[in-house]
Structure 1
Amino acid sequence: MPVAVVLPGALNPLAGCVPPFDRCGARARHATGPWASSQGTQILENGDAVDLTWVESAGAPVIVKEESLRNLWGGYVNSDYENACEVDGYAGLVTFGEPTATVTGLVINEIPAPTAFMEEYRSIVQWISSSSDARFVEMVREGIASVSMWDEGPIVRVNGPLAIFDAALPGTEAGADELLLVEIESDTPAPARESIGWIP
């Protein structure tokens, strides 16, 4: 079943991929911000309940990969993080793992924006610009309803739940509060197709 990547709001064209670690090697951590209140179920003005769990990077893109392959991601320890930073555009593919057995992950955006999975649209969404969590959900709904044609993005083949986290973190170091796990239909042999939508 398709999984879409939706980027609502206005992107800052000057933003880039910046190292999330200082020279002392301080580890990136799950940060909090105005979206922290968005953890869990939100009741919107129209009475709808939306369950969103956010994960945030400390300055890097986010990486999406099959959860069973998370331990192969080296993050800042090897070249995986640098390779993720070199991905152009809103989303792109990056290979990682052993030289003789590489696997593929999806890099989303070069802006360190809070990221969630919106089940009603089976969409990975990022909080780029919104006045509130309720407005964010409204923007996504309005935007998806108004999109007449999607730009097709990269295709990622997966066989189990997805893990989404800060690309700078080694997969083995990403704690439970630094991970967003997304269940997908295990009986669906078809890969997730990442369609990239731009919602102004």
Structure 2
Amino acid sequence: MARYADPGVLEWVESAGGPLIAVPETVLPFWAGADNEDLATDYDRACEVDGHVGLLPVGDSAALVFGEEPASTSFLPEHATFVRWSAAHSEDELLAGVPAALDSAVWGSEVRWRVPGPVLLFDSAWPGRAAGRIEHLRVPLEAGTYAVRAAYAQPGPETWVGLVSLSRLGN
């Protein structure tokens, strides 16, 4: 995982150029990434997601695909939000702008994501069975259904941040 400041700050997941994906731990073995002999791989399916976020079936669950750009991404549990680093001079500058970004964001369409528990965020090109050996971030979500919405915001003159907000629905 990439770190952009002193120890103790966020861990960021990066991709080699394709979309990032959050896969429930229980269905990781079913995500083949780009390692598939079929003509259309799971990675190809992830690349076809249109928009900032989308859902893809994986096993008996679904994975959340982070579309548009392959920005470094982390998770802020205090905001229940994935933060995507689009532009900022430093991690401190980016994180300082998150509250203003959340307040001013123009949110896109909402999707409903049902998860059986914790998810792993990683590069969609990798197979899920390799997740323990590759750059990933474990996000300890509670089982349930989440409303997911995404936006890009500019909280400062040279700071752009992508936001993927999760709101747990009553289950």
Instruction: Give the TM-score range, shorter chain.
Output: 0.7 to 0.9
Is 1:197 the counterpart of 2:151? The answer is yes
d(CA) in 1 for partners of 2:88 and 2:97? 8
Q: Which residue does the alignment assign to 2:73?
A: 115
d(CA) in 1 for partners of 2:14 and 2:132? 12
Following superposition, the deviation at residue 145 of structure 1 comes to 2.3
Amino acid at match of 1:150: W
Amino acid at match of 1:180: L
Q: Which residue does the alignment assign to 1:82?
A: 44
**2:130 alignment partner, SS class:** coil
Q: Which residue does the alignment assign to 1:92?
A: 54
Q: Which residue does the alignment assign to 2:126?
A: 169
CA shift in 2, pair 1:105/1:94, >3 Å: same
d(CA) in 2 for partners of 1:84 and 1:144? 26
Flag structure 1 segments of 5+ consecutive residues without an equivalent. Answer: 1-29, 43-51
Matches within 5 A, 1:28-177: 32=2, 36-38=3-5, 40-42=7-9, 52-78=10-36, 79-97=41-59, 102-147=60-105, 150-177=107-134
CA shift in 2, pair 1:166/1:39, >3 Å: farther
Deviation by residue 1:32-89 (Cα, 9 ceiling, x = unmatched) = 5xxx2347534xxxxxxxxx22111111101112111111100001210000000011
d(CA) in 1 for partners of 2:7 and 2:18? 24
CA shift in 2, pair 1:88/1:146, >3 Å: same
Query: Which of the pair is proportionally richer in strand?
Result: 2
Amino acid at match of 2:147: R
Is 1:182 the counterpart of 2:144? The answer is no
Q: CA RMSD in A?
A: 2.0
TM-score of the two chains, using structure 1 as the length reference: 0.68
Following superposition, the deviation at residue 176 of structure 1 comes to 4.9
d(CA) in 2 for partners of 1:154 and 1:39? 35
Q: 1:61–1:112: 8 Å Cα contact kept in structure 2?
A: yes
